[in-house]
């Protein structure tokens, strides 16, 4: 019954998303998911401020905040966050706004995360699809023998969102983890790029862990054993179905797929024939290798990084599904032998493919 229900929910989301494709926009203008900005407006209104009026003053059309999967300019959203922090005088504004997040705030991404079989998979989904929340977002995850970190990063050349918004996103990530398991989930450490506030109490209470300010990046560090513990309510198939919805949404953000999206698709198709080269992929996309590298550099990545990312994602998908052995997966990913694949997979994830499977 759980599987059938999950399929029904996923299909409902698919139909909703098809009906609300993101509108065409200037591909050079960074945007933020309207649902996240609407959460700020809703919180301001609940606190007695004119949230709608403040949004309008920042150049945001309140009607856009009601559109499913709609988006608003990053510049306007950042101005609204800064204005809200000034008006409220609340240095912990982002933490307070995160408490107003609803299950549907992030649409299908929320559904995919909450259906993840482990906290680690949920955090990896949040990182992989971070661009849903903000165009320049490039979150990632890092694993060591004992720790697992969720790290927020931003594409080079694009101004990052307000520090208050970043605080709120980290608080929301923690909240999603607690929804997936329970209120016992807390990080070992929180690192924030933002300057040290006058009162650190709200941050220490929110994360219930040591908080480091003026850090090189913003991240949550978890115990690895905790995030890899299997969740009783996890449903991998439902998560993957919602992954497809989110992927389709991202592909349509600009009315066309980015060079990164095109390269990823070409890599997946080429992998079984052996390790794809940049010139071969450039030829498949009808561009020169130099042009390909330039486009990828402008999007904040490289061919080498994308090849590693795609190989890792496809490998995890094959191993997680149980349809391919480790040796078969190595061949499908273009590795010459299983040993080379096993070394690479352990470098990517911190565990051997046999253990991951």
Going by C-alpha positions, the residue among 146, 137, 149 that lies closest to residue 174 is 149
**Would you give the DSSP letter of residue 22?**
P
Predicted confidence (pLDDT) per residue in 56-115, tens digit:
999 999 998 987 678 899 999 999 999 999 999 999 999 999 999 987 788 778 888 888
Going by C-alpha positions, the residue among 39, 226, 193 that lies closest to residue 123 is 226
How many CB atoms sit inside 10 A of residue 292's CB?
Answer: 21
pLDDT at position 143 is 93
pLDDT at position 4 is 36
- The rounded distance, in Å, linking the Cα atoms of 115 and 238 is 6
Decide: 152 and 168 in contact? Cβ < 8 Å. Answer: no
Residues whose CB is less than 8 angstroms from the CB of residue 51 and which lie 6 or more positions away in sequence, other chains included = 40, 41, 42, 43, 44, 45
Residues whose CB is less than 8 angstroms from the CB of residue 14 and which lie 6 or more positions away in sequence, other chains included = 241, 244, 245
pLDDT at position 23 is 42
Helix, coil or strand: residue 197: coil
> Is the pLDDT confidence value at 18 over 70?
no
Mean pLDDT across 9-34: 50
- The rounded distance, in Å, linking the Cα atoms of 270 and 277 is 10
Predicted confidence (pLDDT) per residue in 214-271, tens digit:
999 999 999 999 999 888 767 777 677 777 667 767 766 655 557 887 787 777 767 7
Structural domains in the chain, sorted by start: 2-227 (3.90.1520), 257-356 (1.10.10.60)
pLDDT at position 106 is 86
**Would you give the DSSP letter of residue 134?**
B
Residues whose CB is less than 8 angstroms from the CB of residue 11 and which lie 6 or more positions away in sequence, other chains included = 241
> Position of tokens 């790029």?
193
> Is the pLDDT confidence value at 3 over 50?
no
Q: For the chain, what's the residue count?
A: 357
Distance between alpha carbon 85 and the CA centroid of its chain, in Å? Answer: 25
> Is the pLDDT confidence value at 1 over 50?
no
Q: How far is CA 331 from CA 83, 179, 238, in A?
A: 54, 38, 28
> Position of tokens 């922090």?
85
Q: How far is CA 264 from CA 65, 127, 197, 251, 309, in A?
A: 31, 16, 41, 11, 9
């Amino acid at each position: 019954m759980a599987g059938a229900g999950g399929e029904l929910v996923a299909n409902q989301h698919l139909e909703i998303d098809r009906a609300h494709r993101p509108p065409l926009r200037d591909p050079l203008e960074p945007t933020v998911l309207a649902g996240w900005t609407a959460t700020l407006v809703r919180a301001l209104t609940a606190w007695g401020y004119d949230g709608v009026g403040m949004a309008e003053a920042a150049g945001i059309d309140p009607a856009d905040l009601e559109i499913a999967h709609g988006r608003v300019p990053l510049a306007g959203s950042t101005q609204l966050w800064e204005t809200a922090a000034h008006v409220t005088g609340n240095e912990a504004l982002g933490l307070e706004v995160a408490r107003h997040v609803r299950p549907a705030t992030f649409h299908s991404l929320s559904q995919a995360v909450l259906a993840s079989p482990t906290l680690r998979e949920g955090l990896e989904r949040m990182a992989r699809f971070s661009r849903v929340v903000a165009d320049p977002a490039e979150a990632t995850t890092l694993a060591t023998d004992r720790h697992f970190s969720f790290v927020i990063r931003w594409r080079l050349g694009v101004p990052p969102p307000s520090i208050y918004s970043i605080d709120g996103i980290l608080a929301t990530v923690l909240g999603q983890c607690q929804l997936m398991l329970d209120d016992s989930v807390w990080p070992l450490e929180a690192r924030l790029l933002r300057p040290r506030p006058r009162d650190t109490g709200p941050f220490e209470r929110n994360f219930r862990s040591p908080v480091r300010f003026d850090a090189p990046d913003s991240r949550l560090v978890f115990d690895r054993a905790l995030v890899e513990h299997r969740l009783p309510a996890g449903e991998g198939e439902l998560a993957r179905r919602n992954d497809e919805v989110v992927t389709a949404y991202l592909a349509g953000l600009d009315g066309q797929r980015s060079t990164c999206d095109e390269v990823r698709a070409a890599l997946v198709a080429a992998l079984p024939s052996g390790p794809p080269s940049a010139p071969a992929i450039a030829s498949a996309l009808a561009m020169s290798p130099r042009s390909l590298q330039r486009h990828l550099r402008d999007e904040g990545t490289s061919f080498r990084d994308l090849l590693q990312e795609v190989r890792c994602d496809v490998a995890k998908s094959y191993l997680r599904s149980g349809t391919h052995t480790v040796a078969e997966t190595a061949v499908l990913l273009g590795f010459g032998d299983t040993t080379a694949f096993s070394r690479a997979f352990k470098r990517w994830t911190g565990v051997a493919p046999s253990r991951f499977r």
